[in-house]
Amino acid sequence: MSLSQDIKRKTAELGFDLSGVTDAAPIDAEQAKAFARWLEAGFAGDMGYMGRNLQKRLSPATLLEGAQSVIVVGLNYTPPKLLEGHTSATPTGKVANYALYEDYHGFVKRRLRDLVASLESLIDVEFKFKICVDSAPLAERALAARAGLGFVGRNHMLINPELGCQIFLGEIVTSLKLEPDEPIAADCSDCRKCMDACPTGALRGDGQFDARRCVNYLTIEHKGPIGPELAAKIADRLFGCDECVLVCPYQKDAPACTNEQFKFHDDRGNLDLKEILNMDAEMFGATFGDSPIKRVGLEGLKRNARICLANEERRC
């Protein structure tokens, strides 16, 4: 069994649904140019960090001296079907599927450390490594596609034909020279369902993604007020949005996450808006301390709740 095969076996034991290997070469020149054009057009909005350390983002070898390979892992976060058909007597706001689980960053990082420890016990050669879980300037979707985990679709998500596009990613940049995997032969063909489903037109007809209009960006990354046009289109989405994911044909029959160690909160799919508005900092921390929802902060969540309530009142 090759070392790459050992890695795949161990990643499966650690609870990852996907794993692959690619080299540490820079991402494709056309992809790099497209990313530069995206930044120049201002589509990143307030996410100035996307343009920082650009060379590192485009070339994983710059993150680690002597880097030769990148191990990429994927964790399916499709929730169980029990969330469908929610009803409530009080106004509620929807929470995106990824935030129904514990914060994935720590979960994935701990298991990647376990993978490194396993590699250290398997081989006698010393090697360098850097673990990245959305914490380093890395074009992780492009690398995941190159490592054979899936392809980047029109919704700008990594899509795996079997698991769909609700997949958390993590990487290990390493000095080990590993046998790379081949990219898969799949694409969106002529499907445009995600573009048609986007409530704000963030998925543009020219293929560009205008993050400034994306509900995920508006309700999570954007820190200021939200204008009336976009606020109305947020509807009842309190934290994030899944529209471009849920309509994807590859997502239709995707299996639910089966990792029992990955903590799932079945009571967070729809949150009481008035309870959110009455929260203090202590209650917010106690309720969402282990959740991605903490990223937006209490005031950001209250801003979103007020928007959802105003939209609900307009519907009535």
In a domain? residue 157: yes
d(CA 243, CA 95): 12
What does the pLDDT look like over 253-272, one tens digit per residue? 999 999 999 999 999 999 99
Residue 84 domain-assigned (yes or no): no
Spell out the alpha helix ranges (H) of 154-255. 193-197, 215-216, 228-234, 243-246, 249-252
Shared-domain flag, residues 230 and 304? yes
User: What is the pLDDT at residue 87?
Assistant: 61
Q: Are residues 235 and 167 in the same domain?
A: no
Segment 34-43, tens digit of pLDDT:
888 898 989 9
Let me know whether 32 and 160 are in one domain: yes
Local structure of residue 217 (DSSP, 8 states) = I
17 shares a domain with 46: yes
Helix (H) or strand (E) holding 117: helix 104-122
Q: What percent of the chain has pLDDT over 90?
A: 82
* Residues 200, 250 share a domain: yes
Q: Which residue range forms the structural domain that includes residue 38?
A: 3-78+101-174
Residue 19 sits in the same domain as residue 106: yes
Helix (H, G, I), strand (E, B) or coil at 85: coil
- Are residues 278 and 220 located together in one domain of the fold? yes
User: What six digits make up the tokens of 96?
Assistant: 């995106």
Residue 125 lies inside a defined structural domain of this protein: yes
Q: What is the pLDDT of residues 235-258, one digit of tens each?
A: 999 999 999 999 999 999 999 999
Report residue 89's pLDDT band, with 50, 70 and 90 as the boundaries: confident
Could you say which of 147, 174, 201 is where a domain stops? 174
pLDDT band at residue 21 using 50, 70 and 90 as cut-offs: very high
**Judgement on whether residues 130 and 274 belong to the same structural domain of the protein:** no
Based on the fold, state whether residues 257 and 293 are members of the same structural domain. Answer: yes
Q: What is the mean pLDDT of the chain?
A: 94
Distance CA 185, CA 138 (A): 23
Q: Is residue 185 part of a domain?
A: no
Mean pLDDT to the nearest integer, 47-74: 89
The domain total for the chain is: 2
In the structure encoding, which two tokens stand for residue 141, read together?
């979707």
Mean pLDDT: which of 45-59, 81-95, 128-142, 209-223 is highest? 209-223
| Same domain, residue pair 235 and 302 | yes
CA distance 33 to 227: 31
Q: Is the pLDDT of residue 86 over 90?
A: no
Q: Domain for residue 179, yes or no?
A: no
Shared domain check, 134 and 256: no
Whether residue 94 is contained in a domain is answered as no
Residue 86 lies in a domain: no
- Does residue 85 surpass a pLDDT of 60? no
Q: Which of 124, 145, 174 is the last residue before a domain boundary?
A: 174
Give the lowest-confidence range in 81-95, 174-188, 203-217.
81-95
Q: What is the pTM of this model?
A: 0.94
The predicted structure's pLDDT at residue 67: 97
pLDDT score recorded for residue 298: 98
Interval 193-219 mean pLDDT: 96
Backbone phi, psi, residue 18, to 5°? -135, 150
Q: Is there a single domain that holds both residue 158 and residue 228? A: no
Question: What's the pLDDT score for residue 18?
Answer: 99
Q: Which of 134, 181, 236, 290 is catalytic?
A: 134
What is the per-residue pLDDT for 53?
Answer: 74
Q: Is 134 a catalytic residue?
A: yes
Q: What is the pLDDT of residues 274-295, one digit of tens each?
A: 999 999 999 999 999 999 999 9
Structure tokens at 54: 């650009």
Give the side-chain half-sphere CA count within 13 A for 78: 22
